[in-house]
């Protein structure tokens, strides 16, 4: 089996670290990472717990393919109850940290309680101990990583940490590893901050040597890597342009949310696209994009490394930002750009760099700025309140507000609440483009109908990575469906949700699903773990995980009323593009979705469904 078979349990209140055996019955039923971590969490934590209280727990978890030679086998997840939503939070990250934890001989780390002072966890194979982090508190993610590697005299350490946003409990604070890979959504970084947990530093030298059938595993992973290499998306589009390849595509089909979802197309999309990132600037003749980059074991390499224009107003006096660092991906470019009407590519890169450095979700931050700018243009918010003129399109406001939010200064404190709480305070809750308190990603659900149902029913609040129907509705993967109709979308969304849960739990990147189906994942898991994991079994595991998450949320107080969209998407038709005249058809899709799921009319899994899934 390719599980390490051990977990670390850390009691931050008592300052203790203990090893315990992995529950193998749960591992076989929930696979690993997202599924297995959530199983532990749901069994141990009261669903009604205050997310920022010591009674909440937070778990770092790997999957059975994490750290192996499976393509993209570097993923890990952070599971907790999210402060942004109050729902189950499971945030996924790549880079190298997850593989390092597995190489040290651990499947997951469970943190309980809260430390009375800042601490970090040091892991070196079987050695694991809490250490004082007072000297790291107040430092950025970048500084924390550098200081730990220097003080511990080990440049090969892998660090997963929070920045100022997590320390200050910005409700969408991220946990960042390898400088710019992040468990980015739902505020997992704020939970770590509430526990005075600054970082986990890991060094693993054991490797993953317990593959059940090494020859079969090598054979099947080689075959599956070839499929990725020959696929137009995973072999060409993502390596060349990254996720930013979508900017012009989504804009052209009229599904690029613009100016807080007022519009569905952005006239400045071409200025902030992948093509623009690769085009030499007039100021210095150099392109913003330097190169692409891969995470551990990845044969796709969609990551971006960029270098900002040193003459740009945002960094003229900040040479620490002149070097190459993590570049814009599509969701961040949209949230910082089109969502606010900003087409200044260098300003977007600056704001994105701040999010990386201080550990902050650029999607929720950017979307919240969109709400702030709309409130400003309505006259509800003033320059005196915000601290700067903040109309749609203001690159300067975007940059200054990024600094203010990351540092929890002035109006940045309120931006750190997220759009739901901010809009409620100022009397316009309808202007928060969110579900369950989490802001939308970069797809307007009037132009891509399946994404409306995806957002409304996502267990962690509005999310594209729980059911990326864009693959089918726009890219024709695995089959082409009409993005402008509701027909068949309940079945499509369920299939994507269940499959995604299985991909996540295996410990591989969801981007492989552009080329792979579960039939490609099953033989890799089977050869690694030794059990008979068929395609059908993985489908059932994914469905089991989805229903488990739903059960947790229901117990936390969520009901069918929370499976909804903002009035703007349901009542205000798209004004331009192919979706002109359309609203999202959620009222038509949702009852059918409940029926397909085997839930009652209130969105609760029936007794028959739970029995079938072993819940």
Provide the CATH number for the domain around residue 49: 3.60.9.10
User: Using CA atoms, how far apart are residues 581 and 573, in angstroms rounded to an integer?
Assistant: 5
* Residue 587 CB neighbour total at 10 angstroms: 12
The answer to whether residues 478 and 412 belong to one domain is: no
The answer to whether residues 391 and 453 belong to one domain is: no
HSE of 521, CA atoms in CB hemisphere, 13 A: 33
The answer to whether residues 489 and 607 belong to one domain is: yes
The answer to whether residues 399 and 474 belong to one domain is: no
User: Using CA atoms, how far apart are residues 598 and 615, in angstroms rounded to an integer?
Assistant: 13
Domain's final residue, options 203, 225, 245 = 203
| CA angle centred on 136, ends 132 and 138, rounded to 5° | 130
pLDDT in tens, 189-224: 999 999 999 999 999 999 997 899 999 999 999 999
Domain's final residue, options 170, 188, 203 = 203
Peptide bond into 524 cis (omega under 30): no
The answer to whether residues 293 and 393 belong to one domain is: yes
pLDDT of residue 412: 98
Q: Largest Cα–Cα distance in the chain?
A: 67
218 domain residue, yes or no: no
What is the model's pTM? 0.97
Domain's final residue, options 382, 411, 426 = 426
User: Using CA atoms, how far apart are residues 132 and 109, in angstroms rounded to an integer?
Assistant: 18
209 domain residue, yes or no: no
pLDDT in tens, 459-512: 999 999 999 999 999 999 999 999 999 999 999 999 999 999 999 999 999 999
The answer to whether residues 196 and 313 belong to one domain is: no
Domain count across the chain:
3
User: Using CA atoms, how far apart are residues 66 and 54, in angstroms rounded to an integer?
Assistant: 29
- Tokens 């402008």, residue? 484
User: Using CA atoms, how far apart are residues 446 and 573, in angstroms rounded to an integer?
Assistant: 7
Confidence of residue 593 (pLDDT cuts 50, 70, 90): very high
pLDDT of residue 1: 75
Cα distances (angstroms) measured from residue 495 to each of 233, 538, 546: 21, 12, 11
The answer to whether residues 537 and 582 belong to one domain is: yes
The answer to whether residues 352 and 400 belong to one domain is: yes
Question: Count of residues for the chain?
Answer: 615
Structure tokens at 166: 């997590």
- Tokens 């203790």, residue? 16
580 domain residue, yes or no: yes
Helix %, strand %, coil % for the chain, to 5? Answer: 45, 15, 45
The answer to whether residues 420 and 455 belong to one domain is: no
533 domain residue, yes or no: yes
Structure tokens at 66: 């994490």
Tell me the residue range of the domain where 532 lies. 449-613
As a whole number, mean pLDDT of residues 165-174 equals 98
Dihedral (CA of 92, 129, 14, 178) sign: negative
Cα distances (angstroms) measured from residue 17 to each of 8, 11, 79, 164: 7, 6, 19, 26
Q: Does residue 117 have a pLDDT over 80? A: yes
Q: Which of 332, 274, 284 is nearest to 308 (CA)?
A: 284
CATH number at residue 462: 1.10.599.10
184 domain residue, yes or no: yes
Structure tokens at 335: 């949230």
231 domain residue, yes or no: no
Q: How many percent of the chain have pLDDT more than 70?
A: 100
Q: Does residue 39 have a pLDDT over 90? A: yes
228 domain residue, yes or no: no
User: Using CA atoms, how far apart are residues 177 and 193, in angstroms rounded to an integer?
Assistant: 15
Q: Which residues contact 24 (CB under 8 A, 6 or more apart)?
A: 3, 5
Q: Which of 374, 561, 362, 501 is nearest to 63 (CA)?
A: 501
pLDDT of residue 78: 98
b/e burial code for range 34-73 (CB count within 10 A of at least 16 → b): bbbbbbbbbeebebebebbeeebbbbbbbbbbbbbbbbbb
245 domain residue, yes or no: no
pLDDT in tens, 388-433: 999 999 999 999 999 999 999 999 999 999 999 999 999 999 999 9
The answer to whether residues 521 and 555 belong to one domain is: yes
Q: Is the CB of residue 346 less than 8 Å from the CB of residue 284? A: no
The answer to whether residues 312 and 399 belong to one domain is: yes
pLDDT of residue 530: 87
pLDDT of residue 34: 98
- Tokens 């054979």, residue? 219
CATH number at residue 422: 1.10.569.10
Average pLDDT score, the chain: 97
As a whole number, mean pLDDT of residues 440-465 equals 98
User: Using CA atoms, how far apart are residues 213 and 289, in angstroms rounded to an integer?
Assistant: 41
pLDDT in tens, 339-369: 999 999 999 999 999 999 999 999 999 999 9
b/e burial code for range 146-166 (CB count within 10 A of at least 16 → b): ebbbeeeeeeebbbbbbbbbb
The answer to whether residues 495 and 411 belong to one domain is: no
């Amino acid at each position: 089996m390719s599980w390490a078979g051990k977990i670390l349990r850390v009691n931050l209140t008592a300052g203790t670290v203990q090893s315990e055996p992995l529950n193998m019955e749960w591992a076989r039923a929930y696979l690993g990472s997202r599924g297995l971590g959530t199983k532990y969490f749901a069994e141990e934590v009261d669903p009604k717990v205050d997310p920022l209280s010591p009674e909440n727990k937070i778990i770092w978890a790997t999957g059975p393919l994490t750290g192996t030679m499976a393509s993209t086998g570097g993923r890990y997840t952070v599971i907790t109850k999210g402060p942004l939503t109050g729902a189950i939070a499971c945030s996924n990250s790549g880079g190298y940290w997850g593989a390092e934890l597995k190489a040290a001989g651990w499947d997951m780390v469970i943190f309980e309680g809260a430390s009375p002072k800042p601490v970090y966890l040091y892991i070196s194979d079987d050695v694991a101990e809490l250490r004082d982090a007072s000297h790291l508190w107040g430092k950025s993610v970048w500084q924390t990583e550098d200081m730990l590697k220097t003080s511990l005299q080990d440049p090969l350490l892998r660090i997963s940490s929070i920045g100022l946003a997590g320390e200050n409990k910005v409700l969408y604070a991220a946990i960042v590893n390898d400088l710019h890979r992040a468990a980015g959504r739902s505020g997992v970084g704020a939970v770590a901050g509430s526990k005075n947990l600054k970082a986990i530093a890991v060094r693993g030298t054991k490797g993953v040597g317990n593959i059940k059938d090494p020859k079969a595993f090598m054979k099947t992973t080689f075959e599956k890597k070839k499929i990725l290499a020959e696929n137009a998306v995973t072999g060409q589009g993502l390596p060349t342009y990254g996720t930013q390849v979508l900017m012009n595509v989504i804009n052209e089909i009229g599904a690029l949310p613009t100016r807080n979802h007022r519009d569905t197309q952005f006239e400045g999309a071409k200025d902030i696209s992948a093509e623009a990132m690769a085009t030499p600037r007039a100021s210095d003749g150099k392109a913003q994009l330097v190169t692409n980059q891969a995470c551990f074991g990845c044969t796709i390499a969609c990551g971006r490394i960029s270098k900002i224009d040193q003459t740009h107003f945002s960094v003229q006096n900040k040479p620490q930002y002149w070097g190459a660092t993590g570049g814009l991906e599509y969701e961040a470019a949209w949230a910082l750009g089109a969502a606010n009407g900003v087409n200044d590519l260098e300003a977007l890169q600056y704001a994105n760099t701040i999010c990386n450095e201080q550990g902050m979700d650029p999607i929720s931050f950017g979307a919240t700025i969109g709400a702030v700018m709309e409130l400003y243009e309505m006259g509800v918010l003033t320059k005196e309140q915000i601290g700067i003129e903040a109309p749609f399109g203001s690159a300067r406001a975007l940059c200054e507000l990024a600094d203010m939010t990351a540092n929890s200064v002035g109006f940045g404190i309120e931006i750190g609440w997220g759009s739901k709480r901010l809009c409620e305070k100022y009397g316009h809750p309808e202007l928060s483009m969110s579900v369950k308190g989490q802001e939308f990603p970069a797809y307007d659900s009037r132009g891509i109908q399946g994404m409306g149902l995806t957002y409304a029913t996502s267990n962690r609040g509005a999310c594209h990575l729980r059911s990326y129907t864009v693959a089918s509705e726009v890219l024709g993967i695995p089959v082409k469906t009409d993005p402008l109709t509701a027909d068949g979308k309940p079945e499509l969304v369920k299939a994507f949700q269940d499959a995604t849960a299985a991909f996540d739990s295996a410990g591989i990147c969801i981007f492989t699903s552009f080329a792979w189906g579960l039939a490609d994942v099953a033989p890799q898991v089977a050869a690694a773990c030794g059990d008979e994991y068929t395609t059908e079994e993985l489908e059932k595991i994914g469905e089991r995980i989805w229903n488990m998450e739903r059960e947790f949320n229901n117990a936390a107080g969520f009901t069918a009323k929370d499976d909804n969209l903002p009035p703007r998407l349901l009542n205000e038709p798209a004004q331009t593009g192919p979706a002109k005249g359309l609203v999202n058809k959620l009222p038509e899709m949702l009852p059918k979705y409940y029926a397909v799921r085997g839930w009652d009319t209130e969105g609760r899994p029936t007794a028959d469904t739970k029995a079938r899934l072993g819940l």
